[in-house]
Chain A
Amino acid sequence: EVQLVQSGAEVKKPGESLRISCKGSGYSFTNYWITWVRQMPGKGLEWMGKIDPNDSDTNYSPSFQGHVTISVDKSISTAYLQWSSLKASDTAMYFCARYLGQGRMTWFDSWGQGTPVTVSS
């Protein structure tokens, strides 16, 4: 069974750094991109970016480029989403998902349970 298990809830202060994780199991981790999706409180889904676990190649949404860093440690089948200086506006639920693409199709077939991040002074 494909599973993506995310790290637990985080409460941080503005200006602090943070790294959250997403561990894949039940499949060959390096064969599928991992993507991150933000959902602010009461709002919709926003695509942040993706990473190829095989070579750490990344592709960021223009909205998130420069604001977050996506990385991976393929030796432990884990992807990361990182901030160097959090803002209150980073308060949201963050989901990782397995990303598949073929021709004109793009889909996320398996999702993590989500990591809630709260940034407040």
Chain B
Amino acid sequence: SSDLTQDPAVSVALGQTVSITCQGDSLRSYYATWYQQKPGQAPILVIYGPNKRPSGIPDRFSGSSSGNTASLTITGAQAEDEADYYCQSRDSSGKHVVFGGGTKLTVL
């Protein structure tokens, strides 16, 4: 089992807004980081810190947090956003990194 819990699957209509959530007690102390992974590819970083986007990541991706829940929001989902999304943070001890189980996003 993971210290971080994600819904296994989420769907969104093309052009609509979707939020993918990540829950865990350690998120009260540490920020969540979000990665996108498409089939057969390495993950890529999409959001880190309070709401930081690496260069090259579209501004339709944003991050937020409240209590023990972090969210990745895609405003105006595109077909190319269909992928698996993983949250990552530290465990409650702060010593180790943990990943959520991943959410498969389908764009309808």
Interface SS of B by simple majority: strand
A residues contacting the other copy or chain, number (CB 8 A): 23
Give the interface of B toward A (CB within 8 A).
2, 29-31, 33, 35, 37, 42-45, 48-49, 54, 84, 86, 88-90, 95-102
28 contacts between A and B (CB under 8 A): A37-B43, A37-B99, A44-B2, A44-B101, A44-B102, A45-B43, A45-B86, A45-B88, A45-B102, A47-B98, A47-B99, A59-B96, A61-B97, A95-B43, A104-B31, A105-B31, A105-B33, A105-B48, A106-B31, A106-B89, A106-B90, A106-B97, A107-B45, A107-B48, A108-B33, A108-B43, A112-B42, A114-B42
Given contacts A105-B33, A106-B90, A109-B54, list 15 more A-B pairs with CB under 8 A.
Answer: A37-B99, A45-B99, A47-B96, A47-B98, A47-B99, A50-B97, A104-B30, A104-B31, A107-B33, A107-B45, A108-B88, A109-B45, A111-B42, A111-B44, A112-B42
